[in-house]
């Protein structure tokens, strides 16, 4: 991939920074999305919205396209926020810690599994075509998985134990939250938010 796209070490580093920047931005937004639209829509739309960026890796021809795709793919890591939110509202307080730990650990496991499986997918495809095309075709595997998971979440999942956000609001059992107010409340929550952002930035270095 580096040879085909003429990627130098600085460019690879820039792509990594872009991915982290995309993750941080989208994680902040995802909190408001979950409050306003619900974790089901947040999770599903993110999977379905980022999938095209994964597919576009197959047609990248240079460093700029690679960096842009990495930026957009970084958005997908905000599913962590939707998942933690989801577990917090779906499980009883006595087991919500275990649920959050399990879902968080499962999500982190995905990064390791990706590092293991993608080279195997590439190697398998390379048996039938040249390497220049093999790594491009390989990206259709995670892209297709994201479309499948996004569709399953959108049509088969539920926001709350009592039902969907829209149904509960229509029945008058739940008030509609304001995305702007939710975001402002988070930013106005004191120094804790900024300490968390600093901690996250330090961990990424």
Domain ranges of the chain: 2-200
Classify residue 50 as exposed, middle or buried by CB count within 10 Å of its CB (0-12, 13-18, 19+). Answer: buried
- What pLDDT is recorded for position 204? 46
- What pLDDT, on a 0 to 100 scale, did the predictor assign at position 1? 81
**Distance (Å, rounded) from C-alpha 43 to C-alpha 34?**
9
Number of other residues whose CB lies within 10 A of the CB of residue 81? 22
pLDDT along the chain (205 residues), means of 10: 88 92 88 90 95 95 94 92 91 90 86 89 94 94 95 93 87 69 50 54 49
Report yes or no on whether pTM surpasses 0.85.
no
The Cα-based distances of 193 to 8, 151, 200 in angstroms read 35, 32, 11
- List the CATH code of the domain at 2-200: 1.20.1250.20
Whole-number Cα distances in Å, 17 to 21, 135, 171 = 6, 22, 45
CA–CA distances in Å: residue 156 to residues 36, 40, 130, 151, 159? 20, 9, 39, 8, 10
Quick one: pLDDT at residue 108?
A: 82
Q: Which DSSP category does 177 fall into?
A: P
Residue 72 and residue 54: Cα distance in Å, rounded?
9
Separation CA 8–CA 129 (nearest Å): 25
Backbone angles phi, psi at 160, to 5 degrees: -135, 160
Residue 205 confidence (pLDDT): 47
What's the confidence (pLDDT) of residue 173? 77
pLDDT, residue 140, reads 96
């Amino acid at each position: 991939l580096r040879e085909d796209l003429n990627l130098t070490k600085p460019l690879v580093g820039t792509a990594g920074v872009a991915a982290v920047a995309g993750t941080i931005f989208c994680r902040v937004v995802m909190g408001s999305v979950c409050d306003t639209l619900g974790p089901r829509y947040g999770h599903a739309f993110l999977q379905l919205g980022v999938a095209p960026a994964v597919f576009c890796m197959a047609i990248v021809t240079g460093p700029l396209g690679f960096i842009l795709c990495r930026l957009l793919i970084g958005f997908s890591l905000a599913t962590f926020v939707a998942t933690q939110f989801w577990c917090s509202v779906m499980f009883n307080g006595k087991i919500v810690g275990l649920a959050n730990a399990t879902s968080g650990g499962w999500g982190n496991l995905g990064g390791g599994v990706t590092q293991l499986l993608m080279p195997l997918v590439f190697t398998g495809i390379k048996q039938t075509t040249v390497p220049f095309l093999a790594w491009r075709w390989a990206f259709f595997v995670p892209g297709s998985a994201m479309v499948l998971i996004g569709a399953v979440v959108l049509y088969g999942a539920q926001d709350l134990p009592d039902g969907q956000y829209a149904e509960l609001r229509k029945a008058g059992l739940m008030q509609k939250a304001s995305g702007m107010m939710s975001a402002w409340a988070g930013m106005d929550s004191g120094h804790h938010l900024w300490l968390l952002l600093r901690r996250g930035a330090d961990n990424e270095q």
